[in-house]
A = this chain, B = another copy of it.
Amino acid sequence: MPHLDLSTDAVTLTEQLVNIESVSQDEQAIADAVEEALRTLDHLTVTRHGHTVVARTELGRGERVVIAGHLDTVPLNDNLPARREQRPDGDLLHGLGTCDMKGGDAVILRLAATVTEPVRDVTYILYEAEEIDAEYNGLTKLSASDPDLMRGDFAILMEPSDAVVEAGCQGTMRVDVRTTGERAHSARSWKGVNAIHGAAGILTRLQEYVARTPVIDGLEYHEGLNAVFIRGGVAGNVLPDECVVEVNFRFAPDRDEADAEAFVRDFFEGYDVTVTDMAPGALPGLDVPAAKAFIEAVGGRVNPKFGWTDVARFTGLGVPAVNFGPGNPMLAHKQEEFVPVEHIVRCEEQLRTWLTA
């Protein structure tokens, strides 16, 4: 079994974690290593749930915070093992999972090992299967089996966010916008109705869409309405009787799911709209004391979170949550992903300050 050395620095620990391959649904080895390492720590209560490991301090503090990171990665792409690059402007660690998100996991493990008397009780969660369908997600499972383990006054997801706090998250929904027509041989096209031509209006509306950019708790969000797929066609000599435009709506957290759906249905009025997928956003929730103290500890800078993350899952449980982790989110899922060493160091320091000051 691979072994993790929690007494080493967070960068070396990141490298150790990266070198334990853990593509989604293959997290046994990394979860075993994490569990073994955490069980040596007397100040933590450790439980295992599938390939999700939870470690808690139980000091009776007035506040509890959750710090979470997923252990899985997207599939291998000829980008293991980890490779360190020395650069004048700061070293980089390259390899699958360096950015998304084993740098963050290493910070969690270092804090768990070394902050034995935090001023706030802490629940550390290292979980499985974030990169695949929500039904497999360790937090989905934990919120069903042991929701108490996810409770707290505040939660931090250590998803890559350039080591800056990202608050709230936008919601996402997908709809199929459909036109129908009537098949005919293309040699006698006047006998049919071309459903692809009928989609002109859908694309024209999308092209003319102007994004709303509401400011919420001082953060400017940015909505988006985009065709992500289009399909239509029967054969090279047949007028198509159906065209489907799959549209993804990213909506600011001041809209709930019903609002978002009403907007999209209104936008595509006159077309057949089917909702295929929906996940609500999360309001920034920066007014709780633990959040305020945290943001102060990390320098006061907060960005809005555009993408959907498990932040929304905590918000759904009534726990305000933010993203804060090393790595550029734009590099996640890219073959060339890397994490700046400085991000890892800074995240660890700032969280340590907040947990001990």
Q: Which A residues fall within an 8 A CB radius of B?
A: 170, 172, 174, 185-190, 194, 196-200, 203-204, 206-207, 211, 222, 224, 226-240, 243, 245-246, 248, 250, 277, 306-308, 330
Contacts and interface: CB of A to CB of B under 8 A. Distances in A.
Given A186-B226, A227-B233, 19 more contacts: A172-B186, A172-B187, A172-B237, A185-B330, A187-B250, A187-B307, A187-B308, A188-B224, A189-B224, A194-B206, A197-B207, A200-B207, A228-B235, A228-B238, A229-B236, A230-B231, A230-B232, A230-B233, A236-B277
A206 B240 CA distance: 14
18 contacts: A172-B237, A185-B307, A186-B248, A187-B307, A189-B250, A194-B227, A197-B227, A198-B207, A200-B200, A200-B203, A227-B233, A228-B236, A228-B239, A229-B233, A229-B236, A230-B230, A230-B231, A231-B233
A197 B206 contact: yes
A173 to B, nearest CB: 11
A164 B234 CA distance: 29
A225 to B, nearest CB: 8
* Residue with the greatest number of chain B CB neighbours at <10 A, chosen from A172, A206, A207: A207
B185 A226 contact: no
A201 to B, nearest CB: 8
A224 B187 contact: yes
B211 A228 contact: no
Specify which of A197, A207, A231, A232 lies most central, judged by the most chain B CB atoms within 10 Å of its CB.
Answer: A197
A307 B188 CA distance: 7
B248 A237 contact: yes
A84 B234 CA distance: 31
Contact of A236 (B174, B204, B236): B174
Contacts of A235: 228
